Amino acid sequence: MVLELGALADVEFRPGPRREMRVLGDARTPLPISTEVARRLRPVARGSLTVRLRHELPIGQGFGMSAAGASATALAVAAVAGASRTAAVRAAHLADLFGEGGLGGVAAIASGGGLEFRVRGGIPPWGAVQHRPLPGRLLVGVVGGPLPSPRLLRSERFLARVREASRDLPELLRAPEAGRFFDASERFTDRLGLASPAVRTVLRGLRRRGWWAAQAMFGRSFFARSKGPGATRGDLRWLSRGGFPIVELSAAVSGAHVSARRTLPR
């Protein structure tokens, strides 16, 4: 799913005698992927490039924040450097891939919103992504600390578990619609067995209350969608007793974009 919350980048370039670059984030963790994106796309001219990055969902919890940050940085730096959108998407994808942030989130963010189905890995023209609308509201929540996705993605044993747990996912492409997507997400979560006891407790409780609920990959977190009209006060009260943060939100209706441009006075 491509969510309406993601990452926002504000970029400023001031000509000067030296080539300088800073990538400033709202998180206490380093931002090596976004820094690499800025390095790849920075203006050729000498001067000071400053990127200020804000993440609207937690990093390291399976919400694709490394891809979102890479995409936001790429489009904003490309806008001030005069680079094309194609170059920006390519730089973000490669930095996220080789920085071990994820395995293709940039392709999903760049090409649209809603539900995305990866037909072929990579960014266009090599990759192919199908998008479907996803109306209604969703819940996402964080139940524990982040999971180290780079370490997991380097483990052949873990990747073998992923392949086994996802054996029926290609069937989704025959009829890519929301209900089948959430059913498959639940099966994948349960087969993979990566969820902590706290996450499993939340998933079981939401499912009993008439929700689709699955683990966000890879995080100690969850996403859920009601099979009925939406979240009730009882559902939200039950979740609030856990003491962990939850957000109600929608799927995005479009992909990553530049929202504003301004020219600095000379």
Q: Which of 117-121, 132-136, 188-192 has the highest mean pLDDT?
A: 188-192
HEC secondary structure over the chain: CEECCCEEEEEEEEECCCEEEEEEECCCCCCHHHHHHHHHHCCCCCEEEEEEEEECCCCCCCCCHHHHHHHHHHHHHHHHHCCCHHHHHHHHHHHHHHCCCCCCHHHHHHHCCEEEEEEECCCCCCCEEEEECCCCEEEEEECCCCCCHHHHHCCHHHHHHHHHHCCCHHHHHHCCCHHHHHHHHHHHHHHHCCCCHHHHHHHHHHHHCCEEEEECCCCCEEEEEECCCCCCHHHHHHHHCCCCCEEEEEECCCCCCCCCCCCCCC
Class at the top of the CATH hierarchy for domain 7-130: alpha beta
Predicted local distance difference test score (pLDDT) of residue 264:
47
Class at the top of the CATH hierarchy for domain 136-250: alpha beta
Q: Indicate whether 233 pLDDT > 60.
A: yes
**Mean of the per-residue pLDDT values of the chain:** 91
Predicted local distance difference test score (pLDDT) of residue 45:
94
Confidence of residue 111 (pLDDT cuts 50, 70, 90): confident
What are the residue boundaries of the structural domains of the chain, listed by start? 7-130, 136-250
- Give the global pTM: 0.90
| Fold match, 7-130 / 136-250 | no
Average pLDDT value for residue range 30-55: 95
